Structure formats: structure tokens, C-alpha cells
Structure 1
Amino acid sequence: MHRNNFKILFALSFTVFINTFGFSQDIPKKGKPIKAVEDDSLVVDIAVPNIEVPVLSEKSQDSTFTDSIKPKELLEYTVKYSATDYTKFNHKNQKLYLYNNARIDYGDMNITAGSITIDYNTNMVYAKGITDTVSGYTQKPVFTQGTNVVEPDSIIFNTDSKKALIYNSVTEQGEGTVIASLTKKENDSVYFIKNAKYTTATDLDDPDYYIRLLKAKIVPGKKIVTGAAGMYIYDVPTPIWLPFSFFPQSEKHTSGVLIPTFGEQNDRGYFLQNGGYYFAINDYVDLAVLGDYYTNGSYGLRLESTYAKRYRFRGNLAFRFENLISSERGFPDYSKSTIYNLRWSHSQDSKANPNSRFSASVNLGSSTYYRNSLNQINAGSNFLTNTLNSSVSYSKTFQGEPQVNYSVTATHTQNTQSQSVSMTLPTFQGSIGRMYPFASKTGTKKGIIKNVNLQYNLRGENRIQTTDSLFFKKEMFDDARAGFQHTIPLTTNFKVFKHFSVSAGTNYNEVWSFNTIKKTYDYSTRETITEDINGFDSFRTYNFSTSIGTTVYGMFNFEKEGKDPKLMAIRHVMRPSVSYNINPAFDKYYESAEVINADGLTQGELDAIQSSNNLEYSRFEGSIFGSPGRDFSSSMGISIANNLEAKIKDKDTTKTEPKKIKLLNSLNFSSSYNFAADSLKWSPVRVNGSTQLFNNQMSINFGATLDPYALDNNNARINKFNIDNGGSLFRLTTANLTASWSLSNKDKGKKKDTDNVASDNPEDVLPKNIDYANQQIGRDEDENGDNENEEGVNFYNHKIPWNLRLAYAINYSNSRRQNEISSHSLMFSGDIDLTTKWSVGASSGYDIKNQGFTYTQLRFSRDLLSWKMDFSWIPFSERTSWNFFIGIKSSILQDLKYEKRRQPDQRL
């Protein structure tokens, strides 16, 4: 029995040994070795005394446990895929099949197609559309990688090398589209194409034009470099072929050459205009250097720069210079001149600094620049500009109580007709905010005392009057005038009898002048000599004023029992006011001119000369802030402001409130009476008003001056009322009327906003500067509708959009019995869209007084899908000319154009 137990124990020990150290031929998972079993429950439960179990060494692992051949990694990224019909994986061929609305996402690559096959053995992806017996070839692949999108017929892509073959692809490159029969994707940044078309047309199935590229290299977002390239219009080849071409596609601004415009000018020969180089200096500023050259020797130079910094400022700067030569040297009509123009615009973002602001708007140069410039950019109606204005200002506010403000401004005004120039270099203005010395810190300000307030204002100027010939020369400063003006207004306001508002105040004024004069009378030549004196001098003035006014409301109702009139009521608002002003006489600042060469004159003759009015003067005459008043003035002013509104029943029966319309926006009367004057105490009555008609489409402004005094035989005013002289109560001395009317069928039946209100400025109907060669023409949006032909014209319900702007002005003068119409004119401008592609416009005017047409311009425009055709014509005047232009709308191909212009005739 003991022997049998030993055999059983030996068998169990052997079994445990085999199970512990034995392995099968299966390869275990990498990185997870199987640990040996140290103890077995069966062995522990059976006690075997006096028997020693030999310690066995750990068996070495089988060579198959760590195979020297590593498993192959199939793909670099995780492949995410989906399909509508099915996804099938072939284990034997290691291929994945996706069908119907298939989609694959692999890294930054995305492919959608009707059918996609992935070969894991070769790392190839095959994508194509599916063929339907009804729809044909549908669900074409769309290949997206990063920002690049390609829409081919089919595609083969290698996920390992990232190379691809793309068949019949359509891809957007900047503003254009590339349609290629075969494209080889070399890497993420380089594509090679063969037999391709480049176009900016919207209809890619049948583009109206394209540039055929035999071979090309595309660097997305940077450039397209091609071999031989030719222009095709509706698949018809044109003679425009280039051995190579370059299309910039950079999303950032880059430096490059600016192609000039070629043409001919009547008396200066052939020319190249607006050619040069564009410098992309950095992200904040750029510079364009442009030049013009004419075969007779004339030339021009233009520098243009634009700068901007987000949330801080933006602006542009332009300088233009032209050297003009007429005829040829040696001929009597030979002439040589230079003209220039400087423009600068700067605006500060309101969020940059709320307490300080800098702005600039500068337009200065030669007075004849726009009239004599040869550059086509200045063509059009710029020659009608009569004034050039400039302003550069900086202002700062110091918050607090009281608030302190100051500003420094440089201004420039130039009359291009008289060639006079007026400048302030600079004007300084400072002020301390309104202060209430007697008001409590809390509560409202009521009463005369609590409403007493005062301010302090300071203004300093350095004013220059010069001419165009002395502009920017040292002589322009010879007649400069400088001075300061201090003003302290002290005012208060209060109410009396509940309905009357009363204001009263006084104003202290002190002027510091650095330029005064001295007059002497030369008896021998009988002339008054004026001598300029440079040095500090000053004078002080003050005045008093008060006014009382109220508002009166009146309502006249037309509604009665049993009647429901359309006109329900008329509301009249009247604001009368009476003012009184006292201006003391400051004759202490006046003196008589010294008489020289007075030998032999009697005292009576001297007194007669001294008493002459032209010898009584103030030394502050001609200073920038004027001279103090010599005569005492005590005057009363009367004014009445009116407006009329009507309430009418609204056509919309669902509305319960009546509709309000304005009959008269304003109707004002004003005059004054001078108690201290010895004659002509009443000033003329001035009347002005305005109204709007036809749903605010027509704006009317009118004014008149009525004089109560009569005229003598010399047409001079006399101290006698006109009614006492056998005339009417008033003499109409001046009158004016301006009306502007804006008509359009686009907004008919729609509510008008403030943008559609007719302008009061007649110049709004003047022709604008139209130059097709230099403008970037935006792509027009077509209005699609049912039952339309290829031009978008709906023959069943077609409307012809049109707009018409009219301006009428008349002025009457009769101050000295001339009884004449001083000016009388009508101006008009309009456009008609005959179709969605054809547009016709005209701008002109008629001088009714002088019986002649003013500057006239006719315009014709044709939208040719990707192209734009324009024609403008000035049929008569000194600038008779025409301009024809046809070119591509896209800015990247704006140099593909044809332009022909007829310059104005040469005038000797």
C-alpha cells in the first residue's frame, strides 16, 4: 500500500511539472509572457514526509515565443469609413469595399464618392462615382485635404506616399477655377496638371471663356505656373497665346509688377500709363509706385500707400506728379509745366482711445491738376471740382469736473478758379467745461441763481493767405496773421409764467493780435498809406443779451358728427422768440490817420482831412479776429418758427391710429430793430422754409429777403418806408428756390427709409467720375426667376428698373431794381436697366437763363457674364470725348481687356 501511494504521488508530481513548464506551439501575445505556476493545491493538500522534491531549474522559453519577424503596420492613421448600401471587407485580398454615399476620413484627408475601394496591401484608395440608368454618372468623388477641395470623376490615392492621380478634376484656385483632364498630386503643396482650363466663369459646364493650359504646375494658395497658354471664348480659340504664364494665388498680399495701359493721346503721342511695381512691405502697410510715359517726353509719377492696424487706425496716402510738354521745342506753341496733387486720409478707430482722436483728410496741389492731368484716372467729371479742402486735427479730452478739451487743427482751402489759397497752420482751440458756481452738488438746478454758469474758451490761429504760384514757398508766410481770442460767456436761464423760457447772459472777449496796422495820409499824392506792424497788441470787448420764447400749439379738427373726412386735423406748432442785445461802443480803439506833407495847409483843410471817413480807422483792421465795434448798438430781434402737420385716415383699415404727414417742415421769419441807429433801424425780413412731397421723394427749400425801405434815384436805400414812397409794404430783394426729386420704380409701393429721401444738394445729380480701365468691377448677382431666358429676363412679368434724379434751382435778385433772374438751371441724371444685362444712363443739365446744356455724359453698360463692357460719351463741350472698355471682371485677370478712348480735342 505504501508502494502504491508513492507511485501515485510521483505521477501527480510529473503532471504538475509538465503543466507548469510545458508550452504549446501557439505563439503567445507579444509583451505578455506566461508566468510559471509555483504552487499547486493538489500538492499542498497531500503530505509527503521524509521525501525531498528536487528543485527544478526554470525552463528556457521556446524560440517561437519572441518571433524575430515584427507584424506589419497597415496604415499610419485610423481609417473611419461609412456607406449607405454596404461595407464589405475581403480578408483574403485585404480590401475594403464601400458603396453608395461612401465616406472615408484618414488624417486630414476626406473622400466622399459613390464607390470607394481601399487596398491594404498596396495602401491605395480608389474612388469613383456610380452609374445610374436614370441619372447617369452620379456621386462623383470630392477629395478634401486641408483647405484644398478637388471634384474629379475618379481618383487614385496612395496613403503612404500621399501621391494621387485625379481624373477630370474641378478645383478652385483663388478667384478662378481649374478644370483638368489629368492631375498628378505630388505632395500636399504641388500639383501637376495636363490639358486644363483656367476660368473665372460661374458656369463651369459651359464657361463663356477660359485659358487653355497644356501643362501647368499648381502650388495651392501661392501660384500657378504654366507652359503654353491660349485664350478661348466659347471654345473658339483666339490669337491670344503666351509661351508661359503666371497666375498669383497667394491669400496674402505679395509684391509684383503692375501692367501698364497702352494708348494714344492727341498731342503727346503714344503712352504707357499706370505701370509700375507693388511693394507688399508688411501686413500693415503697402506701397505702389506707378509711372506714365508719353512719346513726346511728358511723364508722370504716382505713389500710393495704404496702411491699417486693426482696432487702431487706417488710412491711405497718394502723391501724383506730372511733367507736361505740349508741342515740340522750337515751335511757338511749345510749353512745359508741372502739376501735382497730394491726398491723405486717416481715421482712428473709436475703440483705440476714447479720450483722444487724430484724423486727416487732405486734398491739395496745383489748381489746374484735374483740368490738365493726362492720366486716365483723373478723367471724367473731376475737372468740375472748384475747391480743394484739407483738414488735419488732433483732439484730447481730460475727464473730470469741469471737463477740459483741446484740439489742434491745420486746414487748407483752395479755389481752383481764382487760384487763391487760405490756410491755418495751425488752429488751437481749448475749453473748460460749463461750471455752475451757485448750484448745489445734489438735486436739480432751478431758478436764476442756480442756473448761472460760465465757460472759458481759447482760440489761436496762424492764418495764411497766398496764391497757387507761391504755394509751398517761403514767400507764402510773408503775409501770415496770428492771434489769440479768449471768451468767457456767463449765462443763466429760467421760466416765467410757467410757459415762457428766459435766458440772459453776458460775454467777455479779449483778443491778442501779433499783427496791427498804421495808416498815414500823403497829401501830395492824396493816397492813404497802410503800414504793417508786427508786435503784440490787444483789445477787450463785452456785450449783453437776453431772450424770451415759448411754444404755441394749435389744432384745427375737421371731424364732425356724421362725417368721416379723410383729412382729420391740421396741427400748427409756432415758436416765437424775442431777443435784446447791447453792444457798447469801443471807439477808444479807433484813431485818425496822420497827415504827412501838410506844409501850407490851413487848419480848416487839416480838419476836413481828419474828419474824412476813410481816415478814421482801427489799428486792428485786417487782424484775424477783426476789430472792435465803433458804434453803440441796442437792438431787438424777432423771430417766429413754424411747422405744419396733418392727420389723415390711413388707407390700411386695420390701423386704428391716423397717419401723420408733414405739410411744412419749417417756415421761419426773422428781423431786428436797432434802437441806437440814427436811420434804417429795421433790418430786412428774412423768410426761409422747407418741405417734402410725394412720400419724401421730393425736397423743396425756399427763401426770400423783404426790405421795408425804399430806394432813391441812385438805387440806394433811404430812410423812408417803401409803403410811404408809393410802393408795397416790402420790397422783394432776393429770392431762391431749390428742389430735388428722386424717382425710382424699384421701391414703388414700399416704405421709404431715410436713405431714399431726395437730397437737398443739386450736385448729387452731377455725372460721376467713370473710368473703366482702373476700377475693379465687382461681380453682379443675377436675379433668377421662373420662365427666364439666358439673360434672366422674365417675359411673362418683366419689369424694367429705372431711376431718375432731378435738381432745379432758381435765384432772383432785385436789391438795386435790377429785377433779374440771376441763375436758373435744371439738372438731371438717370439710369435704365433694359434687361438684367443691359443698362443705359445719362447725366446732364440745362442752363435756362443762358439757353444752353451743361456738362453732359451718356453711359452704356453690358454685363457679359464673366466680362464687363462699358461705353461713356461726352457728346459736346470742351471735353468732347468717348471711352470704350471691355474686360474681365475678376481682379486677377483685370489686365485682359481692350480699351479705346478718344481724348478731348487739342485747343490752342
Structure 2
Amino acid sequence: MYKNSIKPLQRNLFYIVFLTIFLTFGNTITHAQDGKPKTESFPAKNQTTTPETKEEKPLTEVDTIKIDTLKKKKPLLESKIKRKAEDYEKLDQKKKQITLYNKAEVYYEDIELKSGIIVIDYQKNEVYAGRIKDSTGKYTQLPVFKQGSNVIEPDSIRFNFKTKKALVWNSRTDQGEFKVKAAITKKENDSVYFMKGARFTTSEDVENPEYYFITDRVKMVPGKKVVVGFTNMVIADVPTPIALPFAFFPITETSKSGIIIPTYNDSALRGFSLQNGGYYFALSDYYDLAVLGDYYTNGSYGFRFQSSYAKKYRFNGNLNLRFENLVTSERGYPDYSKARIYNIQWSHSKDGKSNPNSRFSASVNLGSSTYFRQSLNQINAGSELNNTLSSSISYSKTFNSVPQVNISLTASHQQNTNTEAISMTLPTLQASVDRIFPFAKGDGLKKGIIQNINLQYNLRGENRISTFDSLFFKPQMFRDAKLGFQHSIPLSTNFKLFKHFSASSSINYNEVWAFKTIRRSYSDSQNKIIDTEVQGFDAFRTYSFSTGIGTTIYGTFNFGDKKRIQAIRHVMRPNISYGYTPSFSKYYDTYDPDGSGTIRKDYTRFEGGNFGVPGRNMSNNVSFTLNNTFEAKVTDRDSTKTEPKKIMLLNNLNMSTSYDITADSLRWSPMRISGGTQLFQQKMNVNFAATLDPYAINNSGQRINTWNIDNGGSLFRMTSANMTVNYSFSSKDMDGNNEENTAGKRNGGREDDLFGTNADLSDRRKSQFGEDDEKDTTSKDSEFFKYELPWDMNLAYSITYSNNNREKRITGNSLMVSMNTDLTPKWKIGVSTGYDFVQNGVTYTQLRFERDLLSWRMDFNWVPFGTNANWGFFIGIKSGVLSDIKWDKRSLPDRALR
């Protein structure tokens, strides 16, 4: 009777316990058996309490329960499972499954799974996720499986929580720049995936890519590498002959060393070639190195070393060393020649926050004067047309003493690529002590002429070298160096006169040290004048005095509030200054120019020094300057605005001249007039200048001490004049978008592309139009033509007039223009050209075309005529990981070796 009644209870108890555990599955941690239970002591029934102590004395009990010696079992799951769904969660006890439907989500350890439907099989420790159909019958809510940083978007997935293995159908995942889709993917463990029927691409649309690589066998280690078997390239769903028996693609967030595949080319001048091949060294997280080389079958070759370095909040920079050995024709032919050219570029900048009291910077561009005209790996019109190269390396230190002391060391370089003359300072030392006010009060207030007296100390030392390309860094270059120091102590003050005038006065003491002077004499044996260098310390000292007074005058012309132009404001700043420098003829000697002894000429032994020579003639000048600005107050076209708008008519209109009191003739210097303004919402810059001479000239073109008006001319004779107009505008300006054009300096220092764009043959993936690879993903591919074409235009006009000798001739008159536009959302065209109205010829001209092929870029640029005539065509993948998949064909300009 007892057994029969307890059986149903046992069966029901099993299901009750099972359901209790299961329904809490994912929210609790289950164990096979509890540990040792807690023991409690209960007092005995017979207790005695004494009146003195009032204490209970329980009888001692012995716990007879033994400690459980069974080992603790490992739980089924090592962490909690969190789940949710929008429509329902269905429990099937028979199949031991939980079904989550519509926007289902499951979280387990570092695994996230989102899908339309998710089925959890808690008996097999597996989960299945797949798509669901919407009301139209279309599949939606594809699974998204995420483990750590690795994300897979398949059609369906089956995953085992215990073994961490998975089977995925039609998976989609991003690995670095690659987007991978595979028919079947097997997840072996946390770090290895095997794929079958896979295709990978760098296209944004993995479902309909414009190109992809297809392979049947793939092994992928996320974040590290992809290894594939036989691979075939497919373009627009058409297989191509491009195939590889196997391939290895490193995938990493950090740089890796590797081989750089060269580009094949051919030219009639130097034969076949391999360009820009080499090796990339990922040396550390802070710097790298790329070694590139070129080889031509006629014997020409080149090397380049490129390195970039950076440390956050400290410094950053890059270094580029280039060398080319150029051979023209063949040995034995009359036009055979060889030349070696090189170029060094270094840029370094220091973060000012790392050490505010010291600064170091470098901007170096030096090398052969003919490098940009002859290089086989550079087509840079801006650098080729620019006839100067300059460099500067400087270090400065500030000492926060009282007064403050500043010290700097600078190495500079100036090079004329036409004359091949080079001027360098190695180095320049500069030191200065901040202003000292010896008569100022202790509270720091400085009032009046005495309290404003201040002095400074400045030191400048130069080791100057003048040489040529052929002697650069040769011993003679250093033997011809000139060393000198200049000390200057300016003493000045400023004060007010009659409340409206500002006056200033200064006395300047100057001392120059030289370590090499000259002695000039006539040589009878050579029958000419020779300069003999004299080694040793020598010095000269000069001083000067100057004072000036100026004021500001405001004038307003009102025309009425109802007028379009309500008022014009004129601001004048006149200034009169006086300067006196005595004669320092004591530093001058004489020499005999012809050896006869009858004629003596003056010279100073300090000629050719770094800091000039002492003045032989006394200077006693009065200078006049007048600066003007004109503003207008106009009625705003916007009727909703009540306040008038201010516009600038002339930013500046300056006039200056001087009068020499001690001169015996031609005391007035020519008057210089200059001005400038901005028009059309500051898009057009207009600058002009002219020189007006009050004196006449004779038939030889020399100035004479006769007023030009007394010689039958006008009051002033215009000897020269020039005007420049620069106008930059675009379709954005017409739309009211006044965003500043932030195009980089791509052409030898110019911010525009009036000289065309630079073609760096080592990396042709970059756009000619200076744009990033980021595209507007909101634009529709079906939009073939835009009603409003985006465009931009740069205009530069320059005219120069010369009349020094009554020639009345326009010596320069040219117009340059650069235009870029988008014919369609994917087609861009541009042109840079100009016309010289004096020479009656077209200036440097470049045509450029570009087609955005989504993951690819195709461009064509053409210089149709001139000494730099060339063309180039490029098509290739934008992504850096597949940058070697390209076709680059071009004709290089004829490089005439000198």
C-alpha cells in the first residue's frame, strides 16, 4: 500500500524538479550536489538556570552527519545565458528545446547572437539561428554572430556552446579591408575558420561587388591571416585569366614587413624598366622604412628610402632620400651622357605641449638643381617650374629668468635651380635678452618718456657658405665659409604728445665682428685688381638715431539712411619719421685701380661680410608714410535685417617717400603707392602697386636734378606698375555654402592647381583632385546626371608695366586658369592652362580625367605640349592591401641631361 501510493509522487516530483531547473536555465548556476550543510545547536529539554549567573547551560550534542567526499561536478555551462525575443519564447520539453522568435537575442560569455529565430537545444548544448519571412515573403533579420571583435553575418548558423564549434551558411564577415562571403563556414575553435565556396573583395557591397576573388578552400585566422587555395579574379561576374595557385594575405591592425612588387614600364629613351619595387620594414609602432628601387635596361637606376615616424604628444615627421643614376643613349654615341641626381626631404615637428620652453623643427628640401626636371619617378610641375629650394632646421630654448633669455640655433639653405647657386648658414646663432625698463616703477606702470625707456641685447652669429651644385659638400665649400657676429643694443622709448599723437625715439648701437677681411690692390704681374684674404679678428662699430610721430584720423561721409550706400568711413594713419646715421669713413681705405698712382678709390676691408659694411656717407633722412583704409555701410539686401552691413572697399592704400637732407641733388626718393582689396565675398583678391618718380631723365636714361613737370612731363613719371588678381569660386558659393577650400599644397607650395597636379609614380592610388577615398554613401547609383554640376575654378591674372627709360612697355601680361567639375557622380574632369599675352603663347597645360569605379580608381592625365609633354593612364584597386593589382601606363617627358 505504501509503495503504490509513493510512485505517482516520485514521478511528479521528478518533473517538478526538472521544470524548476529548466525554467531557471540561463539565470542560475546548477550544481550536482551541495556541500556540507550548515549545523545548528539546539538546547536540551532539561536546562537549569542558577540565580547567580542567569546563564543557560545546554547539553553537548555530537553531529553524526559525515562530510560528503564526492567531487564537485563541472557545470553544464560555465556562464549565464541571457536571452530575449519580441514575439514569444516557446519551451518544448519533449525535444528539450527553447525557441525565440522575432528579434531574438542570446548572450553567452563573449558571444552575442541576434537573429529572426533562435532555437536552443539544451540537451545537445547547441543553438541554431536563422532568418524569418516578413509579410511580403522576403527574408529578414539575418543572424549576426559576434565573438570578441569578430563579426559574422550568415543566412543561418549552428553553434555548440560546449565545444565552441560552429557551422555557418552564407557567412559574411569583415577582416581588415577584406569583406568575405562563404557558402559554408566551419568554426573550428576561437581562432580558426575553414571556408568553402568563398569570395572576398574590398567592395562596399559584398552581395553585388564590382569585383571579387573566388576560391573553394580558405583557412582564416581572424585578425592575423587568410590562406587560400586556387584563386580566380572575377570582374562584373565575368571570370578573368588572372589566377593564383595559392595566396597568403596578412590581416592585422599593426603594420607588417613585406615585399613591394615593382611596376613594369618601357620607354624609347631608356628601354624596359621595373619601377618602385623593394621592401617595407615595419620596424616598430613609432617608425617604419620603405626601400624602393628602379632599374632600366640601358643602365639607369635609382634608389629611394622613405621613413615616417611619430610619437603621440611628442613629435612626428617623415624622411625621404632619393638618388638616381641616369644614362642617356649608349656609350660611343655622340649624345651619350651620364648624370647623378639626388634629393633630400625631411619634415619634423614637435608637439608644443611636450616641452613649452624648447622647440625643434625641420623642413628640408635640398639636392640637385635639376632633380625635378630630370627625375624618372616624379612628374611635379609645381616643383619643376619653381626655381628655388629652401631648407631650415632650428632649435630654440627659452629660459624663464628675469629678464627672459631666448637662444636659438638654425641651419638654413637657399638654392637657385636655374643658376645652381647655393647659400647656406651652418649654423646661425641667435640670442636675445628681453626688454629691460630701468626707470619703471616697482608697480610695473610706465608713464611718460622716462619710465618708458627700455633696452635690449641681441646677438646673431653666422657661419655663411656660398657655393654651387658642383662643389656641394666638397672641401672647398667649407674653406670659403665666412664667420661673423653681430651685437646690437637698441635703446628706445615712446610717449604721447597733445593726447592725439604717438611719438617714439630710439638709439641703436651695432657692433660687427669679422674673422676674415680683404686687402685690395693692383697686381702688376696679373695686370688686374686682386683681393687678398686676411685671416684674423677685426670689428667695426656703428650707431644711429631715429624718431617718429604719427596719429590716426577718422572721417565719415554720410549719405542718408535711405540710400543704398549709407556712409563711407575713411581711416588715415600718417607718420613722419627722422633718421640720422653719421659717416664711418674711418673704416675705409684706398687703392690704385690702374697702377698709375694718379687715381685713388675707396674701399672697406669688410666687403663681402655677413652683416654688410659701415656706411661711408652720412644719412640724414625724413620719411613720410600714409596708410588708408575705406569701409562702407550699406543697406542689407535681406529686408528682415534692421542693421546695415559693413563692407571693405580698400583694405589698404599706402603711400611712402623720403627726403635726404644732406644730399646735394635728387633729394626726393620715388613715391611708392600700393593697395589691395577683396571683392565678391572675399573670393577675389586684387593687389596693385606703382612707383612714381618726380625727377626727369636724360637721353641716357639717367635721373637728373630736374622736376619731371619742368621737363615737359607730368607731375610724376610712372617708372613701374603691376597688378595681380586672384579669383577662386565654385558651385558651393552659388549655393550659399562658403566653406573654405581646404585643398592641400600639392604643387610645390601652391594651394591651388594652376600648375597642374603632381603625379607621384610610387603611389598612383591617390586621387588627382586631392579628395579622400570616403564617398557619399547616400547618393544613388542610378543618378547618372546631376542638374547642378559641382565645379570649382581658380583664376590668376598678372600684368606688369615698365617705364624706367621711357620704354612704356608691358613686360608681363598673363592669365592662368584651373577648372574642375563632375560630369556625373563618378566622372571628374579638370584642366590647368593659361595664356601669355606678351609672348603670345599658351602656358603650361594639363588635362586630367578620373572615373570612380567604387573599389577601383581610373585616371588619365595629359600634358599635350611643351618641354614637359607627357601622358599617363592608371587603373587599380584603391585598397592598400591589393595595391599591386593595377595597370599603370605612361610616357615620361624627355629629360634633357645637363
Tell me the TM-score normalized by structure 2. 0.90
- Aligned match of 1:902: 891
Among all aligned residue pairs of Structure 1 and Structure 2, give the percentage whose two residues are the same amino acid: 54
Shift in Å, 1:754: 6.2
- Deviation string, structure 1 residues 418-458 (Cα, Å, up to 9, x no partner): 11100000000000001110011215211000110110000
Once the two structures are overlaid, the 10-residue window that deviates more, 121-130 or 418-427, is: 121-130
Q: Does 1:713 align with 2:703?
A: no
CA 1:669–1:158: 2 relative to 1, 3 Å: same
2:782 to 778, 790, 801: 790
1:623 to 609, 620, 624: 609
CA 1:433–1:137: 2 relative to 1, 3 Å: same
Query: CA contact under 8 A between 1:741 and 1:805: conserved in structure 2?
Result: yes
Shift in Å, 1:770: 3.0
Query: CA contact under 8 A between 1:191 and 1:218: conserved in structure 2?
Result: yes
Whole-angstrom distance in 1 between the partners of 2:485 and 2:32: 101
Query: CA contact under 8 A between 2:752 and 2:794: conserved in structure 1?
Result: no
Output the amino acid matched with 2:563. P
Output the amino acid matched with 1:714. S
Query: CA contact under 8 A between 1:742 and 1:757: conserved in structure 2?
Result: no
Whole-angstrom distance in 1 between the partners of 2:675 and 2:743: 17
Whole-angstrom distance in 1 between the partners of 2:627 and 2:720: 20
Whole-angstrom distance in 2 between the partners of 1:901 and 1:764: 21
Q: Does 1:839 align with 2:833?
A: no
- Aligned match of 2:342: 340
Q: Does 1:781 align with 2:775?
A: yes
Over the aligned positions, Cα root-mean-square deviation in angstroms equals: 2.7
Whole-angstrom distance in 1 between the partners of 2:581 and 2:229: 86
Tell me the TM-score normalized by structure 1. 0.89
Whole-angstrom distance in 2 between the partners of 1:772 and 1:651: 51
Shift in Å, 1:39: 7.2
- Deviation string, structure 1 residues 235-291 (Cα, Å, up to 9, x no partner): 111111111112221100111111111111221111111111111111111111111
Shift in Å, 1:906: 7.0
Query: CA contact under 8 A between 1:779 and 1:890: conserved in structure 2?
Result: no
Whole-angstrom distance in 1 between the partners of 2:853 and 2:466: 53
1:819 to 786, 808, 814: 808
Whole-angstrom distance in 2 between the partners of 1:739 and 1:762: 16
Query: CA contact under 8 A between 2:381 and 2:755: conserved in structure 1?
Result: no
Once the two structures are overlaid, the 10-residue window that deviates more, 250-259 or 895-904, is: 895-904
Query: CA contact under 8 A between 1:126 and 1:156: conserved in structure 2?
Result: yes
CA 1:723–1:103: 2 relative to 1, 3 Å: same
Whole-angstrom distance in 1 between the partners of 2:890 and 2:632: 55
CA 1:708–1:81: 2 relative to 1, 3 Å: same
CA 1:730–1:783: 2 relative to 1, 3 Å: farther
Whole-angstrom distance in 2 between the partners of 1:634 and 1:853: 50
- Aligned match of 2:469: 468
- Deviation string, structure 1 residues 141-186 (Cα, Å, up to 9, x no partner): 1100000010001111111221111110000111120011111111
Query: CA contact under 8 A between 1:741 and 1:758: conserved in structure 2?
Result: no
- Aligned match of 2:621: 635
2:717 to 685, 710, 731: 731
CA 1:158–1:728: 2 relative to 1, 3 Å: same
Shift in Å, 1:903: 2.4
Output the amino acid matched with 1:278. Y
Query: CA contact under 8 A between 2:180 and 2:199: conserved in structure 1?
Result: yes
CA 1:478–1:818: 2 relative to 1, 3 Å: farther
Q: Does 1:363 align with 2:349?
A: no
Shift in Å, 1:763: 7.1
Whole-angstrom distance in 1 between the partners of 2:499 and 2:204: 71
Whole-angstrom distance in 1 between the partners of 2:744 and 2:223: 46
- Deviation string, structure 1 residues 609-656 (Cα, Å, up to 9, x no partner): 12xxxx210111111111100011111001111011111001122222
Query: CA contact under 8 A between 1:773 and 1:899: conserved in structure 2?
Result: no
- Aligned match of 1:410: 411
Shift in Å, 1:205: 2.2
- Deviation string, structure 1 residues 84-125 (Cα, Å, up to 9, x no partner): 222233445443322221111110011111221222222211
Whole-angstrom distance in 2 between the partners of 1:627 and 1:39: 117
Whole-angstrom distance in 2 between the partners of 1:744 and 1:897: 33
Shift in Å, 1:820: 1.6
Output the amino acid matched with 2:648. K
1:668 to 645, 651, 654: 654
Whole-angstrom distance in 2 between the partners of 1:461 and 1:657: 57
Whole-angstrom distance in 2 between the partners of 1:458 and 1:362: 25
Q: Alignment partner of 1:746: what SS? A: helix
Whole-angstrom distance in 1 between the partners of 2:661 and 2:32: 122
Output the amino acid matched with 2:576. V
Shift in Å, 1:60: 7.5
Output the amino acid matched with 1:586. F
Show the 5 A alignment for 1:44-193.
73-193=75-195
Shift in Å, 1:819: 2.0
Output the amino acid matched with 1:330. G
Q: Alignment partner of 1:187: what SS? A: coil
- Aligned match of 1:609: 599
1:267 to 252, 255, 269: 269
Whole-angstrom distance in 2 between the partners of 1:749 and 1:595: 72
Show the 5 A alignment for 1:126-525.
126-375=128-377, 377-378=378-379, 380-522=381-523
Once the two structures are overlaid, the 10-residue window that deviates more, 892-901 or 351-360, is: 892-901
CA 1:537–1:135: 2 relative to 1, 3 Å: farther
Query: CA contact under 8 A between 1:782 and 1:792: conserved in structure 2?
Result: no
CA 1:34–1:439: 2 relative to 1, 3 Å: closer
Output the amino acid matched with 1:820. R
Whole-angstrom distance in 2 between the partners of 1:643 and 1:311: 43
- Deviation string, structure 1 residues 472-529 (Cα, Å, up to 9, x no partner): 1111122211100000001111111110000011100000011211111246765322
CA 1:761–1:370: 2 relative to 1, 3 Å: closer
Whole-angstrom distance in 2 between the partners of 1:155 and 1:29: 35
Whole-angstrom distance in 2 between the partners of 1:118 and 1:818: 98
Q: Does 1:801 align with 2:787?
A: no
- Deviation string, structure 1 residues 684-726 (Cα, Å, up to 9, x no partner): 0001000111221111111011111111121111111111222
Number of equivalenced pairs = 851
CA 1:29–1:255: 2 relative to 1, 3 Å: closer
- Deviation string, structure 1 residues 166-212 (Cα, Å, up to 9, x no partner): 11000011112001111111111111111111111122221111111
- Aligned match of 2:874: 885
Gaps in structure 1 of 5+ consecutive residues: 1-24, 45-54, 599-604
- Aligned match of 1:575: 573
1:745 to 707, 724, 731: 731
CA 1:587–1:243: 2 relative to 1, 3 Å: same
Shift in Å, 1:792: 5.8
- Deviation string, structure 1 residues 663-696 (Cα, Å, up to 9, x no partner): 1111111000000111111100001000111221
Whole-angstrom distance in 2 between the partners of 1:224 and 1:465: 58
Shift in Å, 1:36: 9.9
Whole-angstrom distance in 2 between the partners of 1:28 and 1:349: 62
2:838 to 849, 853, 876: 849
Query: CA contact under 8 A between 1:74 and 1:121: conserved in structure 2?
Result: no
Whole-angstrom distance in 1 between the partners of 2:699 and 2:79: 107
Query: CA contact under 8 A between 1:697 and 1:757: conserved in structure 2?
Result: no
Q: Alignment partner of 1:476: what SS? A: helix
Query: CA contact under 8 A between 1:523 and 1:595: conserved in structure 2?
Result: no
- Deviation string, structure 1 residues 520-559 (Cα, Å, up to 9, x no partner): 1246765322111121100000000000000000000000
- Deviation string, structure 1 residues 584-619 (Cα, Å, up to 9, x no partner): 0000001111689x6xxxxxx63x312xxxx21011
Show the 5 A alignment for 1:513-592.
513-522=514-523, 527-559=528-560, 564-592=562-590
Whole-angstrom distance in 2 between the partners of 1:757 and 1:887: 24
1:699 to 659, 681, 685: 685
Whole-angstrom distance in 1 between the partners of 2:38 and 2:727: 98
Whole-angstrom distance in 1 between the partners of 2:741 and 2:77: 62
CA 1:72–1:849: 2 relative to 1, 3 Å: closer
Query: CA contact under 8 A between 1:288 and 1:305: conserved in structure 2?
Result: yes
